[in-house]
Amino acid sequence: MKIYSYNINEMLDATYAEWMGLISKGKRMLIERYRKISDKKLCLAGDILSREAIYEKCGINPVDVKFDNSEFGKPYVVNNIDVHFNISHSGDYVICAIDDKPIGVDIEKITNINMDTTRYFCTSNELKYIFDNSPQNILQRFFRIWTLKEAYFKNIGTGLNDLKSVEFFIDKNGGVICNKEGYSFETVNKIDLYMISICKRVD
Protein backbone atom coordinates (compact mmCIF):
# COMPACT_ATOMS: atom_id res chain seq x y z
CA MET A 1 0.00 0.00 0.00
CA LYS A 2 1.25 3.48 -0.85
CA ILE A 3 -0.20 6.93 -0.25
CA TYR A 4 0.26 9.91 -2.56
CA SER A 5 -0.63 13.50 -1.68
CA TYR A 6 -0.84 16.82 -3.50
CA ASN A 7 -1.42 20.40 -2.36
CA ILE A 8 -3.53 22.24 -4.94
CA ASN A 9 -1.80 25.53 -4.05
CA GLU A 10 1.15 24.15 -6.02
CA MET A 11 -0.91 23.90 -9.22
CA LEU A 12 0.08 26.64 -11.67
CA ASP A 13 -2.22 27.76 -14.48
CA ALA A 14 0.02 26.01 -16.99
CA THR A 15 -0.14 22.80 -14.98
CA TYR A 16 -3.93 23.04 -14.80
CA ALA A 17 -4.17 23.44 -18.57
CA GLU A 18 -1.75 20.58 -19.22
CA TRP A 19 -3.52 18.18 -16.85
CA MET A 20 -6.95 19.01 -18.29
CA GLY A 21 -5.64 17.66 -21.57
CA LEU A 22 -4.70 14.32 -20.01
CA ILE A 23 -8.06 13.33 -18.55
CA SER A 24 -11.22 11.95 -20.12
CA LYS A 25 -13.80 14.14 -21.80
CA GLY A 26 -16.37 13.18 -19.19
CA LYS A 27 -14.11 14.24 -16.33
CA ARG A 28 -13.31 17.54 -18.07
CA MET A 29 -17.03 18.26 -18.42
CA LEU A 30 -17.55 17.47 -14.73
CA ILE A 31 -14.71 19.76 -13.67
CA GLU A 32 -15.93 22.60 -15.88
CA ARG A 33 -19.31 22.50 -14.12
CA TYR A 34 -17.72 23.35 -10.76
CA ARG A 35 -17.92 27.04 -9.90
CA LYS A 36 -15.03 27.30 -7.44
CA ILE A 37 -11.53 27.00 -8.84
CA SER A 38 -10.50 25.08 -5.70
CA ASP A 39 -13.10 22.40 -6.45
CA LYS A 40 -11.91 22.21 -10.04
CA LYS A 41 -8.31 21.75 -8.90
CA LEU A 42 -9.20 19.15 -6.26
CA CYS A 43 -11.12 17.04 -8.75
CA LEU A 44 -8.43 17.36 -11.41
CA ALA A 45 -5.61 16.58 -8.98
CA GLY A 46 -7.42 13.48 -7.76
CA ASP A 47 -7.66 12.13 -11.30
CA ILE A 48 -4.02 12.87 -12.14
CA LEU A 49 -2.73 11.55 -8.80
CA SER A 50 -4.59 8.28 -9.40
CA ARG A 51 -3.11 7.95 -12.89
CA GLU A 52 0.41 8.55 -11.59
CA ALA A 53 -0.06 6.02 -8.77
CA ILE A 54 -1.32 3.38 -11.20
CA TYR A 55 1.56 4.13 -13.57
CA GLU A 56 4.14 3.68 -10.82
CA LYS A 57 2.58 0.42 -9.64
CA CYS A 58 1.54 -1.15 -12.95
CA GLY A 59 3.55 0.60 -15.65
CA ILE A 60 0.51 1.77 -17.62
CA ASN A 61 0.92 5.11 -19.39
CA PRO A 62 -1.14 7.60 -17.35
CA VAL A 63 -3.12 8.78 -20.39
CA ASP A 64 -4.13 5.16 -21.13
CA VAL A 65 -5.67 4.54 -17.71
CA LYS A 66 -9.46 4.23 -17.94
CA PHE A 67 -11.77 4.83 -14.99
CA ASP A 68 -15.37 4.03 -14.24
CA ASN A 69 -17.56 4.31 -11.13
CA SER A 70 -19.44 1.63 -9.23
CA GLU A 71 -23.16 1.82 -8.52
CA PHE A 72 -22.43 3.91 -5.42
CA GLY A 73 -19.80 6.12 -7.07
CA LYS A 74 -16.56 4.41 -6.06
CA PRO A 75 -14.00 4.82 -8.89
CA TYR A 76 -12.16 1.80 -10.24
CA VAL A 77 -9.76 0.98 -13.06
CA VAL A 78 -11.35 -0.44 -16.21
CA ASN A 79 -8.01 -1.65 -17.64
CA ASN A 80 -7.44 -5.38 -17.13
CA ILE A 81 -5.14 -5.03 -14.13
CA ASP A 82 -5.47 -6.19 -10.53
CA VAL A 83 -5.07 -2.91 -8.67
CA HIS A 84 -7.25 -0.97 -6.27
CA PHE A 85 -7.14 2.72 -5.40
CA ASN A 86 -9.14 5.33 -3.57
CA ILE A 87 -8.98 9.12 -3.44
CA SER A 88 -10.08 11.74 -0.93
CA HIS A 89 -9.73 15.49 -0.58
CA SER A 90 -10.22 18.13 2.07
CA GLY A 91 -9.05 21.71 2.39
CA ASP A 92 -6.07 22.16 0.07
CA TYR A 93 -5.06 18.49 -0.16
CA VAL A 94 -5.85 15.49 -2.30
CA ILE A 95 -4.64 12.02 -1.38
CA CYS A 96 -4.64 8.72 -3.25
CA ALA A 97 -4.05 5.29 -1.71
CA ILE A 98 -3.22 2.30 -3.92
CA ASP A 99 -2.96 -1.40 -3.09
CA ASP A 100 -3.38 -4.94 -4.41
CA LYS A 101 -6.60 -5.36 -2.42
CA PRO A 102 -9.67 -3.13 -1.95
CA ILE A 103 -8.76 0.03 -0.06
CA GLY A 104 -10.48 3.08 1.32
CA VAL A 105 -8.92 6.35 2.42
CA ASP A 106 -10.21 9.56 3.96
CA ILE A 107 -8.58 12.90 4.71
CA GLU A 108 -10.20 15.64 6.76
CA LYS A 109 -8.91 19.05 7.71
CA ILE A 110 -9.14 19.42 11.49
CA THR A 111 -11.52 22.30 12.08
CA ASN A 112 -14.04 23.26 14.73
CA ILE A 113 -17.38 21.47 14.42
CA ASN A 114 -20.59 21.19 16.42
CA MET A 115 -19.66 18.29 18.68
CA ASP A 116 -23.30 17.76 19.65
CA THR A 117 -23.81 16.07 16.28
CA THR A 118 -21.41 13.24 17.14
CA ARG A 119 -24.15 11.28 18.91
CA TYR A 120 -25.86 10.69 15.56
CA PHE A 121 -23.03 8.65 14.08
CA CYS A 122 -20.76 7.59 16.97
CA THR A 123 -21.43 4.67 19.28
CA SER A 124 -21.40 5.07 23.06
CA ASN A 125 -17.90 3.59 23.25
CA GLU A 126 -16.63 5.97 20.57
CA LEU A 127 -18.20 8.94 22.37
CA LYS A 128 -16.47 7.83 25.56
CA TYR A 129 -13.13 7.77 23.72
CA ILE A 130 -13.73 11.24 22.24
CA PHE A 131 -15.00 13.05 25.34
CA ASP A 132 -13.60 11.21 28.38
CA ASN A 133 -9.97 12.05 27.75
CA SER A 134 -8.01 15.31 27.80
CA PRO A 135 -10.12 18.19 26.42
CA GLN A 136 -7.18 19.56 24.44
CA ASN A 137 -7.38 16.78 21.84
CA ILE A 138 -11.12 16.29 21.45
CA LEU A 139 -11.11 17.42 17.81
CA GLN A 140 -8.22 15.11 16.93
CA ARG A 141 -9.99 12.15 18.54
CA PHE A 142 -13.25 12.97 16.79
CA PHE A 143 -11.62 13.28 13.36
CA ARG A 144 -9.74 10.04 13.94
CA ILE A 145 -13.01 8.18 14.50
CA TRP A 146 -14.73 9.98 11.63
CA THR A 147 -11.97 9.31 9.07
CA LEU A 148 -11.80 5.66 10.13
CA LYS A 149 -15.53 5.30 9.49
CA GLU A 150 -15.28 7.07 6.14
CA ALA A 151 -12.31 4.93 5.11
CA TYR A 152 -14.25 1.75 5.92
CA PHE A 153 -17.33 2.73 3.92
CA LYS A 154 -15.17 3.93 1.03
CA ASN A 155 -13.42 0.56 1.05
CA ILE A 156 -16.64 -1.45 0.79
CA GLY A 157 -18.03 1.08 -1.69
CA THR A 158 -21.60 1.35 -0.43
CA GLY A 159 -21.65 5.02 0.49
CA LEU A 160 -22.17 6.25 4.04
CA ASN A 161 -25.03 4.40 5.70
CA ASP A 162 -25.70 3.17 9.22
CA LEU A 163 -22.53 4.79 10.57
CA LYS A 164 -22.98 3.17 13.97
CA SER A 165 -22.79 -0.30 12.42
CA VAL A 166 -19.00 0.00 12.35
CA GLU A 167 -17.38 0.69 15.72
CA PHE A 168 -13.80 1.55 16.55
CA PHE A 169 -11.78 1.11 19.72
CA ILE A 170 -8.46 2.87 20.17
CA ASP A 171 -6.19 0.95 22.55
CA LYS A 172 -3.78 2.53 25.02
CA ASN A 173 -0.95 2.32 22.48
CA GLY A 174 -3.00 4.06 19.80
CA GLY A 175 -3.80 0.89 17.87
CA VAL A 176 -7.12 0.59 16.07
CA ILE A 177 -9.56 -2.25 16.76
CA CYS A 178 -12.75 -2.60 14.71
CA ASN A 179 -15.85 -4.77 15.01
CA LYS A 180 -15.62 -5.62 11.30
CA GLU A 181 -13.39 -8.60 10.52
CA GLY A 182 -11.21 -8.87 7.44
CA TYR A 183 -9.91 -5.30 7.50
CA SER A 184 -6.90 -3.48 8.87
CA PHE A 185 -6.94 0.20 9.81
CA GLU A 186 -4.30 2.86 10.12
CA THR A 187 -4.21 6.56 10.88
CA VAL A 188 -1.20 8.46 9.56
CA ASN A 189 0.16 11.89 10.47
CA LYS A 190 1.36 12.79 6.99
CA ILE A 191 0.13 16.40 6.81
CA ASP A 192 -0.05 18.96 9.63
CA LEU A 193 -3.61 19.91 10.71
CA TYR A 194 -5.13 17.04 8.72
CA MET A 195 -6.25 13.57 9.73
CA ILE A 196 -5.80 10.65 7.32
CA SER A 197 -7.12 7.12 7.84
CA ILE A 198 -6.82 4.03 5.66
CA CYS A 199 -8.86 0.84 5.55
CA LYS A 200 -7.36 -2.22 3.83
CA ARG A 201 -8.77 -5.67 3.10
CA VAL A 202 -6.59 -8.36 4.67
CA ASP A 203 -8.43 -11.61 3.93
pLDDT digits (tens, 9 = 90+) for 16-68: 999 999 999 999 999 999 999 999 999 999 999 999 999 999 999 999 999 99
Tell whether 120 and 177 lie within a shared domain.
yes
CATH of the domain at 59: 3.90.470.20
- The answer, as to whether pTM is greater than 0.85, is yes
Q: Last residue of a domain, which of 74, 100, 126?
A: 100
Tell whether 33 and 55 lie within a shared domain.
yes
Tell whether 32 and 13 lie within a shared domain.
yes
Domain of residue 135: give its range: 106-201
Tell whether 110 and 194 lie within a shared domain.
yes
Tell whether 111 and 162 lie within a shared domain.
yes
Tell whether 76 and 46 lie within a shared domain.
yes
* pLDDT at residue 80, as a whole number: 84
* pLDDT at residue 160, as a whole number: 87
* pLDDT at residue 136, as a whole number: 81
Tell whether 110 and 92 lie within a shared domain.
no
Tell whether 66 and 125 lie within a shared domain.
no
Tally of structural domains, the chain: 2
How remote is the C-alpha of 148 from its chain's centroid?
Answer: 10
Q: Last residue of a domain, which of 100, 131, 160?
A: 100
Q: Last residue of a domain, which of 100, 117, 141?
A: 100
Count of CA atoms in the C-beta half-sphere (13 A) of 127: 11
Tell whether 48 and 74 lie within a shared domain.
yes
pLDDT digits (tens, 9 = 90+) for 154-184: 999 998 888 999 999 998 888 999 999 999 9
Tell whether 24 and 65 lie within a shared domain.
yes
Tell whether 64 and 146 lie within a shared domain.
no
Tell whether 27 and 79 lie within a shared domain.
yes
